[in-house]
Structure 1
Amino acid sequence: MRIIIVIIGGMLLMTSCNQQIINRDSTVCKIDLKKTISPSFYDYFSRVEIIPLETSENSLIKYVGERIYHDSKYYILDTSQKKILVFDENGNFLYDINKHGNGPGEYTELYSFYFNPFTGDLDLLSPMGGILRYDSLGQNFKEKIPLPLTVPAVHQFIALDKDTYLLFSDSREGNKMVVYDIVQRKIISELYDLPKFILFNTFYHHTYSPFYVCDGEVHFVQSYNGDVFTFERNSLIPKYHWDFGEQNFEISDLKDEPMEYYFKYARTVGAKYANIFVSYGENSRYYITDFAFDNKYWTLIYDKQSKEPVVFNAFKEGHECIPSFVDESGVYFIGADPNYGLNILNAEELDADTRKVFDSIKDDDNPVVIKYVFK
């Protein structure tokens, strides 16, 4: 792979849909998708762990939405059941967080949740109902934070400090992100004027939260082309830009067409470009993301020490790498069902104990957690 790392000054990573993006030196990686080489799994990881999430009458998961690993527990949002199921690090079911209803401290819909580092509380997001604050166990209701009146629905969120949230609305006309002061109940600023049809009729948008925190900084992933930004002074600051040359994807070429049109488009025209960056994570050493190209899924691992990205379909050993989230100990993947999760593994490459776990999982079991442990 021909790789060039360029630090550029005064560069504006902006398309017509982006506003309030500050010029700042950023890492630009040139990647040739015609010259990719599969690395070894053991270049990065020491082993695979398979953690089945307990399957019982009380713990059944119908559809996996957002998922978080926090304080040695797995939190899985089941969007169809409108509740969060909590498992310990070994996959044992602990309890659920279910506040579905119409009373005080309850929600009719649940799209996202977040452990607020500034308050220590668990925040639940009901798109039109507000942010509901509970204690860290999600049991005791504390308060409801109303959403701004000019935002019809909020679909993703993250705290910037104890009094300020960054909100993302798929359905808002014009700017999709607003900075909201919950004390003054006032929008401080707004940005990111993405056409609404991109979010409703195409595949070129985030599936889960576009926000994550690394080194105490809020990050935003632009899912159609994978660009990563930090958020400072109410503006997006470019951090990583992946330059695929002729395979760069531009949404300025898209038009407002129904979803049926984009089903075909994604398999034909869209398949010629690198796009749909919907899985990502970062720690002190690596930024890891997944994307689509040529009707296949690819993984990009950017090593922040060597300043080199590697792009591949699968490791030499046959395992694929899809980051649901990343921490200092490893890369985690939680699929929508157990079979899909296990399909990213090459069973023949597993050690004897892990292979026994692999072989023990049934089709109707809960999803499993696949963890690749860093060396």
Structure 2
Amino acid sequence: MCSNFFNKNIPACLFLLIIIISSCSSKESNEVANEGQHVIKIDDLTDVSNLSFSKVVDSVFYLPLETSEEVLMGQIESLQVVDERIFVSDITSKSLFSFDMDGRLITKYSAVGEGPGEFSTINSFTINPERKEVVIAGAGKILFYDYEGEFLREFKTVLSGSMAVAYTGNNRLMAYTNYKIHDEKQGANNVVFLDYETGDVISANLSFNPKARVENMTSFFNNISGLQGTSKYLSIPYRNTVWQVSGEEVDTFFTVDFGDNALPDSFEDEFLSNSKVTSGKLREIERNNAWYRIKGGGAQINNRYVNFSYAGKDSQFIEVFFDKRNDQGYSFKVPLENDIDGAKFVVQRSAYENYFISIASPEVLLGLGDKVADLNILGDGLEIDGNPVLRFVAYNFEHFQK
């Protein structure tokens, strides 16, 4: 993980060595005690809103991503850490980058165009760790590359414009449609499975009312978690359930019980499918009835915790961490006082082992002045106009359980 950086920063590498040893030694303790469906009851969560960020964090380190003429990012769309590589898609440059765990560039996928092996946009991407392949959903087609950026093949499909695609194992690609009908034969389904080799539609799951008006919905910026392996976790707006997907199997992993504040079972048919209900009216209805649901980034899941947010009373955002090992949950009002790096909002964008990954601004971190020396910053250091910094946080709430 440290490579040539070791000689420059021995303490940081020792820190990472401790992480690796700790991860291996605690593998057994991180086993989920109750595999299968979990029910997260909002009324049973322990409120830790009075704590500061440092009180709920075991460890945190920062990884600046290389900044050069070849690597200039404007807005990170999504990121995944697989096989000790960090894959980051950038909206501004229409590129996908892979970095090593020191933040140095390995490969840039940026064949902008309409020809074979080229794409005009990156709608989403996924990694096949079994075959060491990078899969990019472009406009009207899905493209396959190896880890070194060599173009392998492509196939055309209308499902490439879905909100997200993910490799789920067993030679299957899952396309999440976000309430859009892409195949009349399959009907209205939020999940469509494609053959990994040919792109043929194999099956579909999680049906929805075909009259649902996606333009009135508030979607997630992340619908899929569990990105390190082939099993994925899927969250869908207006459904307070997260599903585990493996191959073509779709099983409920957990549901959120909002009690009296839950969306009614008729919500999709009565409101999402009503042409007279605009997006503003939809939010007003939710607010006036005090109906809660998962919002923001959907659910993120690492080896230990399930993380999601919802809008509570007076639209106050509440963040939740649910410990899969003992079915204990914790919540706090956003934002939590950040006494570590000063950022107002820490938004979980991805997960890796026991860590959740968020994005930090180098300008904000350097604004700490002398205190920046107290942060565990890896790689080649911060640049004021540099690319975003990845913040890896391992949370620990067990001291506060009821």
Give the TM-score range, shorter chain.
0.7 to 0.9
Alignment of 1:248-287 (within 5 A): 248-250=262-264, 251-252=267-268, 253-255=270-272, 261-263=278-280, 265-266=282-283, 269-270=286-287, 272=290, 273-287=292-306
1:5 aligned residue: none
Q: 2:315 aligns with which of 255, 278, 295?
A: 295
1:10 aligned residue: none
1:354 aligned residue: 375
| Paired AA for residue 226 in structure 2 | Y
* Residue 331 in structure 1 maps to residue 348 in structure 2: no
Q: 2:156 aligns with which of 133, 143, 146?
A: 146
TM value normalised by structure 2:
0.71
Change (3 A) 1:197 1:58: farther
**1:58-116, CA deviations, whole angstroms, 9 ceiling, x for partnerless residues?**
32212211111233333221123211133333434455221111221111221111210
Q: 1:210 aligns with which of 213, 216, 224?
A: 224
Long gaps (5+) in structure 2:
1-34, 183-187, 397-402
SS of residue matched to 1:65: strand
Tell whether the 8 Å contact from 2:222 to 2:299 is kept in structure 1 after alignment: no
Change (3 A) 1:28 1:285: same
Tell whether the 8 Å contact from 2:244 to 2:252 is kept in structure 1 after alignment: yes
1:157 aligned residue: 165
Alignment of 1:1-375 (within 5 A): 26-32=37-43, 36-38=47-49, 39=51, 41=53, 44-129=56-141, 131-137=142-148, 139-147=149-157, 151=159, 153-170=161-178, 171-172=180-181, 174-183=188-197, 186-194=200-208, 198-203=213-218, 205-213=219-227, 217-231=231-245, 234-250=248-264, 251-252=267-268, 253-255=270-272, 261-263=278-280, 265-266=282-283, 269-270=286-287, 272=290, 273-293=292-312, 294-313=314-333, 314-315=335-336, 321-334=346-359, 352-354=373-375, 362=384, 364-373=385-394
SS of residue matched to 1:192: strand
Tell whether the 8 Å contact from 2:75 to 2:92 is kept in structure 1 after alignment: yes
| Paired AA for residue 282 in structure 1 | I
SS of residue matched to 2:279: helix
**1:180-239, CA deviations, whole angstroms, 9 ceiling, x for partnerless residues?**
224565322212233575533321x23234353577533212243442112368453111
Q: Distance in 2 between matches of 1:99 and 1:46?
A: 41
Change (3 A) 1:87 1:259: farther
**1:129-184, CA deviations, whole angstroms, 9 ceiling, x for partnerless residues?**
2x2111112x211111332x6x5843421223353221222432522321222456
Change (3 A) 1:213 1:347: same
Q: Distance in 1 between matches of 2:129 and 2:85?
A: 16
Q: Distance in 1 between matches of 2:42 and 2:83?
A: 37
1:301, distance to aligned residue in structure 2 (A)? 0.7
Long gaps (5+) in structure 1:
1-23
Report percent identity of matched pairs: 20
Tell whether the 8 Å contact from 1:275 to 1:291 is kept in structure 2 after alignment: yes
Tell whether the 8 Å contact from 1:159 to 1:166 is kept in structure 2 after alignment: yes
Q: Distance in 1 between matches of 2:282 and 2:54?
A: 37
Q: Distance in 2 between matches of 1:322 and 1:263?
A: 24
TM value normalised by structure 1:
0.75
Change (3 A) 1:229 1:279: closer
CA RMSD of aligned residues (A): 4.0
Aligned residues: 343
Query: Which structure: greater helix fraction?
Result: 2
1:54, distance to aligned residue in structure 2 (A)? 3.5
